[in-house]
Amino acid sequence: MRWTNWRFVLFVAVFIVGIALSVPSILGLKSGPKITLGLDLQGGLHMLLGVDTKKAIESKIKSIASSIKYFSEQNDILLEDLKIGDKKIEFTLLDKDDAPKIEEFIQKEPGIVIKKEGLHYTLTLTPKEIESIKEYAIKQAVDTIRNRLDQFGLAEPTVAKQGKDKILVELPGIKTPEQEQRVRKLIAKAAHLQLMAVDEARQARVDTMTPEEAAEYGDVILKDRHGRKYLVKEIPILDGSMIKDARVAFDQNNQPVINFTLNSEGARIFGDFTAKNVGKRLAVVLDNVIYSAPVIRERIGGGSGQISGGFTVAEAHDVAIALRSGALLAPVYMEEKRSIGPSLGADSIRQSLIALVSGFVLVVLFMIFYYGIAGIIADIALVANLFLIIGVMALFGATLTLPGMAGIVLTVGMAVDANVIINERIRELLREGVSIKKAIEQGYKNAMSAILDANITTLIAAVVLYAYGTGPIKGFAITMSIGILASMITAIIGTHGIYEALLPKIERSKNLKTWFGIKV
Partner 1 sequence: MEFFKTDKIYNFMGKAKLFMAISTILVLGSWALVVFKGLNFGIDFAGGTIVQVRYDKPVDIAAIRKALKKSEIFQDASVTKFGSDNEIVIRIKSSTKNLKKDIGDEARAALKGTGNFEIRRVDMVGPKVGGELREKGLMATVIAIIGILIYVSIRFEWRFALASVLALVHDVSIAMGAISLFNVPVNLDILAAILTILGYSLNDTIIVFDRIREGIVESVKLKDLNAVINESITKTLSRTTLTSLTTFFVVLTLYLFGGEIIKGFSFTLLVGIVVGTYSSIFIASPMLTILGFDLQKYRAKLAEKRKKQQEKERMRAMYEQGMV
**Nearest distance in Å: CB 206, partner 1:** 28
Alpha carbon distance 57, 340 (integer Å): 36
Write b or e for each residue in 397-413: b if 16 or more Cβ atoms lie within 10 A of its Cβ, otherwise e: ebbbbbbbbbbbbbbbe
Touching partner 1, residues 69-108 (CB under 8 A): none
Among 363, 493, 506, 512, binds partner 1 (CB under 8 A): 363
Touching partner 1, residues 187-206 (CB under 8 A): 187-188
Touching partner 1, residues 108-127 (CB under 8 A): none
- The answer to the question of residue 442 lying near partner 1 (CB under 8 A) is no
x-marked contacts with partner 1 along 137-176 as a string, rule CB under 8 A = --------------------------x-------------
Cβ nearer to partner 1, comparing 102 with 478: 478
Pairing of strands 166-171, 243-250: unpaired
Cβ nearer to partner 1, comparing 99 with 355: 355
The window from 85-93, 129-137, 259-267, 354-362 that contacts partner 1 (CB under 8 A) reads 354-362
x-marked contacts with partner 1 along 306-335 as a string, rule CB under 8 A = --------------------------xxxx
- The answer to the question of residue 492 lying near partner 1 (CB under 8 A) is no
Among 7, 60, 148, 184, binds partner 1 (CB under 8 A): 184
Among 126, 312, 343, 435, binds partner 1 (CB under 8 A): 343
Touching partner 1, residues 224-243 (CB under 8 A): none
- The answer to the question of residue 355 lying near partner 1 (CB under 8 A) is yes
207 sits in the region (left: phi over 0; alpha: psi -120 to 50; else beta) called alpha
Among 270, 476, 499, 515, binds partner 1 (CB under 8 A): 476
The window from 128-136, 149-157, 475-483, 496-504 that contacts partner 1 (CB under 8 A) reads 475-483
Order the strands of the 289-292 sheet from edge to edge: 238-239, 193-197, 282-286, 289-292
Among 107, 312, 351, 509, binds partner 1 (CB under 8 A): 351
Pairing of strands 238-239, 193-197: antiparallel
- The answer to the question of residue 416 lying near partner 1 (CB under 8 A) is yes
Alpha carbon distance 453, 520 (integer Å): 31
Among 177, 301, 310, 397, binds partner 1 (CB under 8 A): 177
- The answer to the question of residue 461 lying near partner 1 (CB under 8 A) is yes
By the 8 A CB rule, do 356 and 409 touch? yes
Nearest alpha carbon to residue 172 among 473, 471, 479: 471
Intra-chain end-to-end CA distance of the chain, in Å: 28
Cβ nearer to partner 1, comparing 44 with 240: 44
- The answer to the question of residue 5 lying near partner 1 (CB under 8 A) is no
Degrees, nearest 5: CA angle 222-226-232: 20
Cβ nearer to partner 1, comparing 124 with 352: 352
Among 155, 210, 449, 508, binds partner 1 (CB under 8 A): 449
Alpha carbon distance 263, 280 (integer Å): 24
Cβ nearer to partner 1, comparing 64 with 367: 367
Backbone φ, ψ for residue 316 (5° rounding): -60, -40
Touching partner 1, residues 21-50 (CB under 8 A): 48-50
Q: From the centroid of its chain, how far is CA 376?
A: 45
Pairing of strands 229-233, 238-239: unpaired
By the 8 A CB rule, do 117 and 83 touch? no
- The answer to the question of residue 359 lying near partner 1 (CB under 8 A) is yes
**Nearest distance in Å: CB 291, partner 1:** 18
By the 8 A CB rule, do 7 and 493 touch? yes
The window from 132-140, 257-265, 316-324, 352-360 that contacts partner 1 (CB under 8 A) reads 352-360
Number of residues that bind partner 1 (CB under 8 A): 80
Q: Which helix (H) or strand (E) holds 28?
A: none
Q: Which residues pair with 243 in a beta bridge?
A: 262
**Nearest distance in Å: CB 421, partner 1:** 5
Alpha carbon distance 25, 23 (integer Å): 5
Rg of the Cα atoms in the chain: 35
The window from 56-64, 108-116, 205-213, 445-453 that contacts partner 1 (CB under 8 A) reads 445-453
The window from 6-14, 16-24, 99-107, 419-427 that contacts partner 1 (CB under 8 A) reads 419-427
**Nearest distance in Å: CB 331, partner 1:** 9
Among 402, 486, 492, 493, binds partner 1 (CB under 8 A): 402
Q: Which residues pair with 285 in a beta bridge?
A: 194, 290
**Nearest distance in Å: CB 359, partner 1:** 4
Hey, is 499 helix, strand or coil? helix
- The answer to the question of residue 454 lying near partner 1 (CB under 8 A) is yes
- The answer to the question of residue 424 lying near partner 1 (CB under 8 A) is yes
Nearest alpha carbon to residue 84 among 107, 65, 110, 105: 65
Distances (CA, A) of 19 to 8, 26, 27, 278, 388: 16, 10, 11, 75, 7
